[in-house]
Structure 1
Amino acid sequence: MGLLNNFLRRKQKKEQLAKIGEKQSAPVLVAKPAGESKAKEVKVKLANHSLAYKILVKPLVTEKSAIAESKNKYSFVVVKSANKNQIKTAIAEVYGVKPLHVNVANMEGRRVRFGKSMGRRNDYKKAIITLPAGKSIDIHSGV
C-alpha cells in the first residue's frame, strides 16, 4: 500500500498545482456600451501568497544576538525542515531586504528541572542572517 499511496499523493499534488496555476490569472469580463455586444477579457493577476509565516517562527532575542546585530547579523528560530534558500526568500518577503548569507544551526534543547524530575526543552533550528552593509531590519518592536 505504501507505493500506491505515494503514487496517488504525487498525482494529487500535480492536480493541486494545476488548479493553483489556473487561479493565478483569472479572466474578468468588462461590459461595453449598449452598441457593442462583445465583452472584453482582462487578465488580473491574483496576489501571490507566500509561505514565510510557516518558515520563520520568531526572532531569537538573546544577548549574543543583540551584540551580533551591530555586525548586521540577525538570528531567527525557523522550522526544522526549512533550508537556506527558503529562509532567504522568507526574510526578503517579510522584511523587504535580501540577505547576503544565511547560516543554519540545529540547536539541542536544554535540560531543565521541574521539581524532582528532569525535563527537556524542545530542539529548534537557528538561522543567522547576514544583511548587506547599510541595511537593517527592526525585529525588536513589540518585544
Structure 2
Amino acid sequence: MAFLDKIFRWGKKPFKQGEKESSQPKQGGVSELKSETAPIAVVSNKESGLFANVLIRPHTSEKAVSVGPSNQYIFEVASSASKPEVVLAVKDLYGITPRAVNIVRMDGKHVRFGKSLGKTKEWKKAIVTLPAGKTIDVYKK
C-alpha cells in the first residue's frame, strides 16, 4: 500500500532530516550483474505428467464401442479441457496424432434419492478420430 509507505518506513532505518541518500551505485548493480544459467533439463511429458489430468478415462458405452471400428474413440475429459489440449494429451499418451477431435458437453441427469431430488454432475466427452490404419488399446486390463 503506497500511501502507508509514506507514513511508515517498513524495515528501513528511520530517515533523519540532515542525512542525504548516497548517490553512489550500490555494488551488484545492473552493469555488474552476471547471468548464470543452468542447463535446462528436457523432460518428456509422460514423465512430468502435463496431460495426466486432461484425459480422465475412456468412456465405455454401447455407442462408444460401436464407433471403434471407424477409428473413433470416446474419452471422458476434464471440464476445462479444450480441443488442442486433448490432441496433445492423446499424442503424448498414445503416440498418435488424432485426425479430428470433437468435444461434447453432457448435462447431468435429474435423479431421486428417496424423497429428495438431485442431479448427477455435468461432464465433457471428447470423440477422437484417428488416421486410417491407426488403433489404440484403451481398454487395457
Task: Tell me the TM-score normalised to structure 1 length.
Answer: 0.67
- Alignment of structure 1 residues 1-143 onto 2, 5 Å: 25-26=39-40, 45-48=41-44, 49-142=48-141
Counterpart amino acid of residue 87 in structure 2: K
The percent identity for this pair of structures is 39
Partner of 1:42: none
Question: AA paired with 2:62?
Answer: E
Q: Which runs of 5+ in 1 are unaligned?
A: 2-21, 27-44
User: Aligned letter for 2:61?
Assistant: T
Which structure has greater helix proportion?
1
1:4-40 per-position Cα deviation (integer Å, ceiling 9, x unaligned): xxxxxxxxxxxxxxxxxx67x34xxxxxxxxxxxxxx
Instruction: Output the aligned Cα RMSD.
Output: 1.8
Local SS of the residue matching 1:57: strand
Q: Give the TM-score of the pair, scaled to structure 2.
A: 0.67
1:51 and 1:109 mapped to 2: Cα distance?
Answer: 28
Q: SS state of the match for residue 88, structure 1?
A: helix
CA–CA separation in structure 2 for the residues paired with 1:96 and 1:124: 25
3-state DSSP class of the match of 1:54? Answer: coil
SS of the counterpart of 2:132? coil
Q: Return the alpha-carbon distance in structure 2 between the equivalents of residues 137 and 111 of structure 1.
A: 34
Structure with greater proportional strand content:
1
Q: CA deviation at 1:81?
A: 1.1
Consecutive unaligned residues of structure 2, counting only runs of 5 or more, are 2-36
Partner Cα distance (1:59, 1:81) in 2: 17
Per-residue Cα deviation, 1:89-120 (whole angstroms, up to 9, x for no partner): 00000011110000001110111221122211
How far the C-alpha of 1:73 sits from its partner, in A, is: 0.5
**For residues 71 and 114 of structure 2, what CA distance do their matches in structure 1 show?**
41
Q: Higher relative contact order at CA 8 Å, sep ≥6: structure 1 or structure 2?
A: 2
Runs of 4+ in structure 1 deviating by more than 4 angstroms, as ranges, are none
The one-letter code matched in structure 2 to 1:96 is G
